[in-house]
A and B are shown apart, each in its own frame.
Chain A
Amino acid sequence: MPVVHAMFFGDADYVATDRKIPAGFQLGQVVGHLIVSFNDRLNYFGEFSATAQSTGYAFEVERSILRYDFDDNLKISVGRYHTPIGYWNTAFHHGTWLQTTVSRPEMIKFGSELLPTHFVGAFAEGNLPSGGLGLQYQAGIGNGRGSIISRAGDAGDINGSRAWTVALSARPEALFGLQVGADYYRDRVTPATGADAAEGISSAYVAWQREQPEFIAEYDQIAHTPTAGGPRTTSNAYYVQLAYRLTGEAHQWKPYARFEHTTVPATDVIFAPLDLGYEGAITGLRYDFTSFAALKAEYRREHFQTYEWSNGAYLQVSFTVPNLGGGDHTTMQQ
């Protein structure tokens, strides 16, 4: 009999900002996970979200992956993924409770146009024999971006040019808690309007997740070369996040800060019309009032490409409901 696990992630927010965006109380994403083990080797991972919008709720199949594990060195899968670009996109993504901060970095925001956050295709992944270095690889081929470039090509490849990506990461034994990685993504982008361009994304990151301190830094470079001819342009985006879990009686508290920056050349044929330039800094405090729920308070000062600097205050309660009614007895219930 298949073994089934289910998990939920959710959050509720309060936003006060001088940006011209809807403020007040907001229901964030409600995200459900369904994990099915058909046997020791064949597993299904599904992630489904409902996102509050002004016209109702948007339902989305975020991930739907069927994977066969030959062993630790080779796992083959097909479906819809979080693209292994950088660290945040695969480590936290829709898991608001998992991330220290209220929101993702702007470069990986919900509906990001800068990075192809989802990927429809097939992957091979696994460990690489590397002793204490803890090397892991991922290699995938898929449809790439859709005609709306924030979306994956769920219904097929719009331009007949498959995207591919390779990623390499290390979790060295000697520096337990450290993860470093680099990846490359290649595609041809054909937006519904505008020029068609070859896209190459290079990314690298360092993450130290032991909480005392927590440190995450990620850099992405997105290059576009118009297929009709023209100069190659490169956009750059990075963020640096630092947090520290306090000790003793104050161990439920974790102050944090993040700085991020995105630059897009005015000559970029894909990005320039989208006003993706950004600079921002946040500082906040996270309070884990139970093992599965956290309250976060955050101040944000930010500057979008064509707008003035703005200030905002954000409050969020985020939570997870782990292993709902699973046919297994995992640590999450303890």
Chain B
Amino acid sequence: MSRTLSQFRRVAGRTSGQSRSVAIAIAATLAMACLPAASAAAQAASPVAGEREPIAIVVNPKDGVSNLSFDELRRIFLGEQQFWPDRSKVTLLVRAPVARERAVVLNEIYRMNEDQFRQYWIGKMFRAEIAGGPKIVYSSDMAMNLVSMIPGSITFVLASAITPNSKVIRIDGKLPSDPGYPLK
């Protein structure tokens, strides 16, 4: 827990003081304002009995996006698309190994194993395509806290880890609980 908090503070500390204050204010406001919607989202994300628990894609509540195609999602996770349509910067939050949601994302989105995943990001930095790899989060709580704090951020968690202030987006028009949802 202390490690999680330490990581959280360090990542949050990289945002400017002004933007951090704004982010905290927005997060707090939205946490209250979005409770009914988040509850509905959490209900929609409940896994169907007998199926593997789906992985929800969560963005900062301030982000204008509510639906992505799977190809768009892959481009964002691959760092091919580094800006949202409103030209704000994407901040990718990726769960550290070993976690089931990371395994699903590596398998379904990246189609890479752990070694290939590391080499991929080193290669991207080497070629000056990106200035930094994904931010690492060490728990679902940390992912949910940071995604609510950092404007432009996007992450993934088990559907059961969705919190009231979260904004779960549709992938190809589907929520995690919908049949045919691609991340299970």
Which B residues lie within 8 Å of A70 (CB)?
Answer: 87
When C-beta atoms are compared, the residue in chain A nearest to B127 turns out to be: A90
Do A331 and B133 form a contact, CB below 8 Å, given A1-B14, A132-B71?
Answer: yes
Which A residues lie within 8 Å of B113 (CB)?
Answer: 251
Do A291 and B118 form a contact, CB below 8 Å, given A33-B126, A334-B97?
Answer: yes
Q: Which of B1-37 contact A (CB under 8 A)?
A: 7, 10-11, 14
Docked pose: A330 CA to B91 CA in angstroms: 12
Which B residues lie within 8 Å of A291 (CB)?
Answer: 114-115, 118-119
Docked pose: A33 CA to B123 CA in angstroms: 12
Q: A332 and B83: CB pair below 8 A?
A: no
* Pairs A–B under 8 Å by Cβ, sample size 27: A1-B14, A3-B131, A5-B131, A9-B126, A33-B125, A35-B125, A37-B131, A91-B123, A98-B119, A98-B123, A132-B71, A134-B75, A134-B80, A173-B75, A211-B116, A291-B114, A291-B115, A291-B119, A322-B125, A328-B133, A329-B11, A330-B121, A330-B133, A330-B135, A331-B117, A331-B118, A332-B125
Q: Which of B101-145 contact A (CB under 8 A)?
A: 111, 113-119, 121-123, 125-128, 131-136
- The reply to whether the CB of A333 lies closer than 8 angstroms to some CB of chain B is yes
* Closest 6 A/B residue pairs (Cβ): A330-B133, A40-B89, A45-B128, A43-B131, A329-B136, A37-B131
Size category of the binding interface on chain B: 35 or more
Q: B131 and A98: CB pair below 8 A?
A: no
- The reply to whether the CB of B43 lies closer than 8 angstroms to some CB of chain A is no
Docked pose: A320 CA to B118 CA in angstroms: 11
Which A residues lie within 8 Å of B132 (CB)?
Answer: 3, 5, 35, 37, 326, 328, 330
Tell me the B residues contacting A by CB distance below 8 Å: 7, 10-11, 14, 71, 74-75, 80-83, 87-89, 94, 96-97, 111, 113-119, 121-123, 125-128, 131-136
Docked pose: A72 CA to B129 CA in angstroms: 11
Docked pose: A314 CA to B117 CA in angstroms: 28
Which A residues lie within 8 Å of B125 (CB)?
Answer: 5, 7, 33, 35, 322, 332
Which of these binds chain B: A61-69, A148-156, A186-194, A216-224?
A61-69
A77 to chain B, nearest CB (A): 9
Docked pose: A37 CA to B11 CA in angstroms: 14
Q: Which of A1-34 contact B (CB under 8 A)?
A: 1, 3, 5, 7, 9, 33
Of B10, B113, B115, B117, most buried by chain A (CB within 10 Å of CB) is B115
Which B residues lie within 8 Å of A91 (CB)?
Answer: 123, 127
